Amino acid sequence: MTTVPNDATAGILGAEPLGLRASPRYPVGVHFVIMGCGRVGAELTIQLAKAGHTVGIVDKRKEAFDRLPPGFDAKTIVGIGFDREVLEEAGIKEADAFIAVSNGDNSNIVSARVAREHFNVPKVIARIYDPRRADIYEKLDIPTVSTVRWAAKQVQYLLFHGRETMRDSLAGGSLLHLQVELPDHLVGKKVSSVTFDGEVEVIGVDRGGAGFIPKDDSTFQEGDVAHFVVHKDAVDRFDLLMEPVAE
């Protein structure tokens, strides 16, 4: 669903911010087409190429490619990102994914629809600036990354919580990944006691330098660090869970 840090690239492809690695979804050697060689587009191109993938990147301005390192091995095409001939030159017919990250919402969505509906690219993602459009584009079955909404949710949470608890935000800021040193009142309690379907989930526990995904009957121990995914509308409930019950 923001300078733009490497975190932005992580939000777009769901990868570690310090480098995109091979995965079952994207094994080494697949092809990506990117529209827009701004800060995000350039960073995505560099990280994907470092991971062993091939990239064709399109921008209407030739000077935009100056953001790429000298001698960088990527196919650069000057042109309009929703022009079919331009996309074909970038390798859209062989692409496993298309990412539209130009500075124009309309251009991103039009090019994403061309990639999805005309070229049948399996994975299509579009970046948008106007968060009010996100739901409309989601109905077109085109996942979007709204950097405005993402940044606003980050700031809103950090105003009222310590930075050490915020690890990431997902789905345009709708979901928060929070890391919490276990409060004393939860020691010995079942992990299921602090989960609520669709609102609060424990996705992992750090214990003694090792991590595990909890089961239904797992219990918290002293010194645990718990990782939660919390829906933005359930933050108040989560805060109450972290507070000891008054005696």
| Structural domains of the chain, ranges and CATH numbers in brackets | 6-149 (3.40.50.720), 174-241 (3.30.70.1450)
Question: H helices within the chain, ranges in order?
Answer: 6-13, 39-50, 84-89, 105-113, 134-138, 147-160, 235-241
pTM of the predicted model as reported, rounded to 2 decimal places: 0.59
Fill in the amino acid letter for 137: Y
Instruction: Write down the pLDDT at residue 83.
Output: 95
Instruction: Write down the pLDDT at residue 26.
Output: 54
Instruction: Write down the pLDDT at residue 114.
Output: 94
Instruction: Write down the pLDDT at residue 62.
Output: 94
Instruction: Write down the pLDDT at residue 21.
Output: 41
- Tens of pLDDT along the chain (247 residues) come to 333 334 455 455 544 433 344 454 555 678 999 999 998 999 999 989 888 899 999 999 999 999 999 878 789 999 999 999 999 999 999 999 999 999 888 899 899 999 999 999 999 998 888 877 776 777 777 887 776 666 666 666 566 555 446 566 676 667 888 888 888 899 999 999 999 988 999 999 999 888 899 988 899 999 898 999 998 888 888 888 888 765 5
Structure tokens at 229: 């995914």
pLDDT digits (tens, 9 = 90+) for 78-136: 999 999 999 999 999 999 999 999 988 889 989 999 999 999 999 999 888 887 777 67
Main-chain phi, psi angles of 161, to 5 degrees = -140, 155
